[in-house]
Structure 1
Amino acid sequence: MRHFLTLADYTKEEILEILELSRKIKKETKNRVFKDYMHKKTLGMIFEKSSTRTRVSFETGIYQLGGVGLFLSSNDIQLGRGEPMSDTSRVITRMVDMVMIRTFEQSKLEEFAKYSKVPVINGLTDEYHPVQLMADYLTIQEAGLDKNLIVAYVGDGNNMTHSWLNLAAKLGFELRIATPKGYEVNEDILVNALEMAKKSGAKIIITNDPKIAVKDATVVTTDTWVSMGQEEEKEQRIKDFNGYIVDKSMMELAQEKAIFLHCLPAYRGYEVSEEVMEGPQSLIFQEAENRLHAQKGVMVWLDRQRDK
């Protein structure tokens, strides 16, 4: 049985296979064809961190696949009252067909998966956000930029940068990450990605200069500087990230055909300007929609693996 906890667990062929399935299901959805790929299957959705896009995309996705989603916040289940993750897993996974978890520590997700009787999907942890990267790469494919791809990430060394590292290392494209000093990516995750990159031929560049990262890039992406749980650091982070806003002048350093991506929610005027957000290079809302389609591909693929 396979879980979807981090992209490092998957081969290039598997990632592309899931994305191909996602494109197929998206095309069917756009033609108002809804096949019961997961007929009467139940997806348990555990949210220790709240979310707009994750809840709507997974709940809509499982419904369109012929199943049903159960929204379970920490306040709704015993997990929020101190029940061990291992006990919660062994109870819930005897009643549902698949589980998506959006939580804090990656270790909690991995513990749940260890005891689970069904596939487990990482809806986000502090370390990784793999389903978002599947949506991002689907958007890149649709824009026709997956060949000779150069991705520039400008911002915080967070779960998004870690997932970009894994995706680049697996698929073999060039990734440039620009973070302020003190906000670099996790060293262990970087070392692991560099090791994987030796096999794929990926080029990974780490810098503190966003202009170096963006120069001639085909995709420019960023994320909020103040993630959930970091509100007390807001004023200090705004100072530290001075010069890291993706604005028109920064986008002009990228290739003319370059696109802008952002996983949302975005704080306009901080990590990205209003002009770029609403500009012709921005594909952020297509990217947001693709959370739905990419995650349907992930769910169907995992369900098929379980039946093998």
Structure 2
Amino acid sequence: MFQGRSFTKEIDFTQNELNYLIDFAIHLKQLKKQRIPHEYLKGQSICLIFEKTSTRTRAAFSVAASDLGATADYFGASDMQMGKKESIEDTAKILGSMYDGIQFRGYKQSDVEALATHAGVPVWNGLTDEWHPTQMIADFMTLKENFNRLSGLNLVYCGDGRNNVANSLMITSAILGVNYTVASPKELFPDSDLVELAQSYAKKSGATITLTEDIKQAVTNADAIYTDVWVSMGEEALFDQRIKQLMPYQVTQELFDLANEDAIFLHCLPAYHDTLTNIGQEIASKYNITEMEVTDEVFRSDHAKQFDQGENRLHSIKAIMAATNGNLFIKQLD
């Protein structure tokens, strides 16, 4: 059912398959906490390609491979000839002949899909400029852990509504029956073709997809408020523009108080909530602000679940790797 399949974007899997991965990730988390071995990939070798830097994705794939009994080799942007002296197709064929699975974190969605087409082994998208599918299993796993359900929940995303995380959240919500609202300036609404795709999934799942510039209306009765950095990797020159556009969409305690009483805060990290980083200090010096997409008060509140969410990257990635490459018995889901 899953064996041998790649995961390059959310629509690679059905609603039932995504729900299975979420539930399986929760199960693997329980095994990890109880120190029960689960070496579904024992003896395998995994290739980790990172064109973009990473903390959570690299750590999660490395530990996931180890927990599953596999070894993992890391390749940074300067470690490979892929796309420079050797085509992606040729690289994929070589790596696929040596490794049992490949993770790719980089810029172009077409690159990870080319790897998946030619490698002959499962390829997992650790992030591209368009999609972030492995993050989604962790995000919706965190929602299910907190609410014991997904269908009918109200998820609100505040900020840049057309980045890879926002795109993935919208499509995954639509598939899984989660009501999704983007609160952002109109110029940062998601692409209309993507909205149309989300609406087509929402009709089947019963979800609603809403785009609005009214941040207060958006978060009223929210079960989860999600935000991300205002400037994505590769867009650092846009800090000034993004701050002016998105400061009204900052997640403050006053804003969070409009959500449901048991609402949670989510962030895929890293977050600019203080000045304890070099970038945070630069922003404070240049723009006279100490917090960006979320205030430190919300980030450190009891409602904040971003570190559970971050840990869940491990368990969700483990579920994806095991399901697609572990020769598990999985009954027909659809």
The answer to which of 177-186 and 262-271 deviates more is 177-186
- Tell me which amino acid in the other structure corresponds to 2:235: Q
Matches within 5 A, 1:31-42: 31-42=34-45
- Tell me which amino acid in the other structure corresponds to 1:233: L
2-structure distance, mates of 1:209, 1:105: 32
**CA 1:283/1:110 → structure 2, altered by over 3 Å: closer, same or farther?**
same
Q: How high is the TM-score relative to the length of structure 2?
A: 0.89
Q: Which of 250, 255, 260 is 2:265 aligned to?
A: 260
- Tell me which amino acid in the other structure corresponds to 2:90: D
1-structure distance, mates of 2:171, 2:21: 16
2-structure distance, mates of 1:233, 1:8: 30
**CA 1:160/1:150 → structure 2, altered by over 3 Å: closer, same or farther?**
same
What per-residue deviation string (whole Å, max 9, x for no partner) do you get for residues 98-157 of structure 1?
111001111111111111110010100101111111111111111125353100000112
**CA 1:150/1:169 → structure 2, altered by over 3 Å: closer, same or farther?**
same
* Cross-structure match for 1:271: 293
State percent identity of aligned pairs. 38
2-structure distance, mates of 1:128, 1:103: 10
Across the aligned residues of Structure 1 and Structure 2, the Cα RMSD in angstroms comes to: 1.5
* Cross-structure match for 1:112: 115
- Tell me which amino acid in the other structure corresponds to 1:90: K
1:65 aligns with 2:68: yes
CA contact (8 A) 1:93 1:118 kept: yes
* Cross-structure match for 1:291: 313
Q: Report the Cα offset of residue 209 of structure 1.
A: 1.8
1-structure distance, mates of 2:25, 2:229: 27
* Cross-structure match for 1:25: 28
What per-residue deviation string (whole Å, max 9, x for no partner) do you get for residues 202-228 of structure 1?
111011222122111000000000111
| Structure 1 runs, 4 residues or longer, greater than 3 Å off | 304-308
CA contact (8 A) 1:46 1:100 kept: yes
CA contact (8 A) 2:5 2:122 kept: yes
* Cross-structure match for 2:165: 160
Q: Report the Cα offset of residue 305 of structure 1.
A: 6.0
- Tell me which amino acid in the other structure corresponds to 1:297: A
1:198 aligns with 2:172: no
Q: Which of 6, 10, 18 is 1:7 aligned to?
A: 10
1-structure distance, mates of 2:265, 2:44: 36
1:79 aligns with 2:101: no
Q: Report the Cα offset of residue 304 of structure 1.
A: 3.9
Q: Which of 260, 269, 282 is 2:304 aligned to?
A: 282
Q: Which of 222, 227, 231 is 1:222 aligned to?
A: 227
- Tell me which amino acid in the other structure corresponds to 1:192: L
Q: Which of 207, 210, 218 is 2:215 aligned to?
A: 210
2-structure distance, mates of 1:307, 1:172: 27
CA contact (8 A) 1:97 1:119 kept: yes
Q: Report the Cα offset of residue 201 of structure 1.
A: 1.2
Q: Report the Cα offset of residue 236 of structure 1.
A: 1.3
- Tell me which amino acid in the other structure corresponds to 1:208: E
1-structure distance, mates of 2:262, 2:329: 42
- Tell me which amino acid in the other structure corresponds to 2:304: S
Question: The residue matched to 1:79 in structure 2 has which SS?
Answer: coil
Question: The residue matched to 2:266 in structure 1 has which SS?
Answer: strand
1-structure distance, mates of 2:255, 2:85: 47
1:139 aligns with 2:121: no
1-structure distance, mates of 2:314, 2:221: 30
* Cross-structure match for 2:154: 150
- Tell me which amino acid in the other structure corresponds to 1:87: D
Aligned residue pairs total 308
What per-residue deviation string (whole Å, max 9, x for no partner) do you get for residues 169-216 of structure 1?
111121011111321112221111111211111111011222122111
Q: Which of 240, 250, 254 is 2:255 aligned to?
A: 250
- Tell me which amino acid in the other structure corresponds to 1:63: S
1:46 aligns with 2:46: no
CA contact (8 A) 1:2 1:306 kept: no
* Cross-structure match for 1:301: 323
Q: How high is the TM-score relative to the length of structure 1?
A: 0.97
Q: Which runs of 5+ in 1 are unaligned?
A: none
